[in-house]
Structure 1
């Protein structure tokens, strides 16, 4: 017979058991995961403030990065604490909050994948069709694409989880549990639309960008004759676009490294293997949200300058939004 102290709800016989972790391991895990969650939220909040405040950063590419930073911030602010709550304790917030948490996690995940696809398309047009990039990709169009991305994510979540709000506790084996089980068709659709298709699009576009970037680099090295001022400006512009492409390429490679295990575990046929690696895969996917602003700090001087102005509270001064940080 189970001890009452081991139950999430001691007065209910159908209550779930509390996780059997040694207190030192539980404390250490909570400290590490909570610290990563806080760092993720703070770093992405700095990205959001930077792009939103400084007018020089109002570019189509940065609008897409802003959307990605919003989803990453929500991962650190909502999903990581929720995951810590799920993995290291009992669920005391009720079935309706559990259903809401599952919907929000689907929306944020889908939006992150959509942002990565939009970033790939942006770099593809910038590198492969630079002459038409200023007219084809504008701030207004970027904002519209971001809006549609989040709107589609909300619609997608409502379709995939359409049964969950009506029967939020249908798959719970005991009280104090928060699980999500989707149908076979919904699982196939999720695999197709949030993994296979986006990853294929991202890889194909960036392979094309890589080929064009290499050919342009070779062309610059072989360019030994005198050039006009207009051509020099064009080459300089292409060089800056290539640098941005490399930076965002690193961003996407890191995303794929963190994202692929998330779905690879779900595809594993061995149930014990899936359960043993599920937590690691989820944490790795969420940890990508912490790595993105670190990549910005390493490769974008404007981000470092913006953070300095934010931390020193210089953004509170009149006219600080017009500061030159590029």
Structure 2
């Protein structure tokens, strides 16, 4: 309860600031618990599933080698992102940054690096799929194994140089956002905020546009095949396969749900000149959502593929029999 004097009215005005403060603290505590749970779950699933998927990917022979390279890049970036997020997880669990100045810089650089590599790798996989569907006859000559390796290698090198030079030099500091703890904050100038926004928004829009075109091309091809079947055997045309459309909806929907909060946060944070605890907490929440996209990618790109599911079952079966024989004998 706070009492203030109003000079215009000549009266005493009483405001209930204590209740508002308690309510804000309750909201912050609830959000912090949600961030901790979501981050721990996402890291656990990513560290568990992504290495398994990399091994499974090597066993599959029915997938194009170039596609496997882009999928491996996406999976590896998700795995590295989850491993590096352990730095930030210690801050969330301890309530304060305890790892020193150097690891604070490392944490800031890896956030930008592997988030950027994740979204760029997803864009590369989308472009690969778009070429395979729209140019099926020319695809082997357009996207060779050597070119795909050069593209992935160049992307990783360019993103590493960009993030280290821009976000790793005098860009992170340990500051106190409240009276109880200190936090690792990436010092962000206006141009860096705009650059971060651009690096996120342009790939996301490109992916959405490409998948919209992929859905249109796939639907037109299905209609043409159905019409040719109807003309050839005189029977009714086959029903258009909606599985590819469902996959596209799942991919784009997951992308929007996990990445759109980051876009919104970048837009809102660009108007703030100083970091607050609430904005820092919001940033941790958006990062937890992006991190969860790493485990969702496993479901979308691996477990929904029949050949990959069969390879995974074969891998787990081989491991089970190997362990069983070792313990029996």
Please state which band the TM-score falls in when normalised by the shorter chain.
0.7 to 0.9
Q: What secondary structure sits across from 1:163 in the alignment?
A: coil
Alpha-carbon distance in structure 2 between the residues aligned to 1:218 and 1:251: 23
8 Å CA contact retained: 1:71, 1:111: yes
Alpha-carbon distance in structure 2 between the residues aligned to 1:275 and 1:24: 14
Alpha-carbon distance in structure 2 between the residues aligned to 1:281 and 1:199: 15
- Residue 315 of structure 1 and its aligned partner are, at CA, apart by 10
- Residue 53 of structure 1 and its aligned partner are, at CA, apart by 4.4
Alpha-carbon distance in structure 2 between the residues aligned to 1:297 and 1:120: 15
CA RMSD of aligned residues (A): 3.4
Q: Deviations over 1:258-279 (max 9, x none)?
A: 1111121221257787456333
8 Å CA contact retained: 2:117, 2:159: yes
2:192 maps to 1:180: no
Match of 1:303 among 292, 299, 308: 308
- Residue 149 of structure 1 and its aligned partner are, at CA, apart by 1.4
Q: What secondary structure sits across from 1:92 in the alignment?
A: coil
Alpha-carbon distance in structure 2 between the residues aligned to 1:42 and 1:254: 20
- Residue 70 of structure 1 and its aligned partner are, at CA, apart by 0.5
User: What 5-or-longer segments of structure 1 have no aligned partner?
Assistant: 1-19, 228-238, 318-326
TM-score, structure 2 length as denominator?
A: 0.73
Alpha-carbon distance in structure 2 between the residues aligned to 1:181 and 1:168: 5
> Structure 1's 210 and 28: CA in aligned 2 closer, same or farther, altered over 3 A?
closer
- Residue 55 of structure 1 and its aligned partner are, at CA, apart by 4.7
Alpha-carbon distance in structure 1 between the residues aligned to 2:214 and 2:30: 49
More displaced, 173-182 or 83-92? Answer: 173-182
Q: What secondary structure sits across from 1:68 in the alignment?
A: helix
Q: What secondary structure sits across from 2:83 in the alignment?
A: helix
Counterpart in the other structure of 2:72: 66
- Residue 210 of structure 1 and its aligned partner are, at CA, apart by 1.8
Q: Deviations over 1:186-229 (max 9, x none)?
A: 1112211x1232122212222222221221121122112349xx
2:250 maps to 1:250: yes
Q: Any residues of structure 2 matched to 1:126-165 within 5 Å, and which?
A: 126-164=132-170
Counterpart in the other structure of 1:263: 263
- Residue 95 of structure 1 and its aligned partner are, at CA, apart by 0.4
Q: Any residues of structure 2 matched to 1:185-196 within 5 Å, and which?
A: 185-192=191-198, 194-196=199-201
Q: What secondary structure sits across from 2:136 in the alignment?
A: coil
Counterpart in the other structure of 1:16: none
8 Å CA contact retained: 1:41, 1:73: yes
Q: Higher strand proportion, which one?
A: 2
Q: Any residues of structure 2 matched to 1:1-326 within 5 Å, and which?
A: 33-57=39-63, 59-79=65-85, 81-89=86-94, 90-164=96-170, 168-169=172-173, 172-173=175-176, 176-192=182-198, 194-223=199-228, 224-226=230-232, 247=247, 250-268=250-268, 269=271, 274-275=279-280, 277-313=282-318
TM-score, structure 1 length as denominator?
A: 0.74
Counterpart in the other structure of 1:234: none
8 Å CA contact retained: 1:51, 1:63: no
> Structure 1's 24 and 299: CA in aligned 2 closer, same or farther, altered over 3 A?
closer
- Residue 30 of structure 1 and its aligned partner are, at CA, apart by 5.3
> Structure 1's 56 and 122: CA in aligned 2 closer, same or farther, altered over 3 A?
same
State how many pairs are aligned: 281
8 Å CA contact retained: 2:117, 2:156: yes
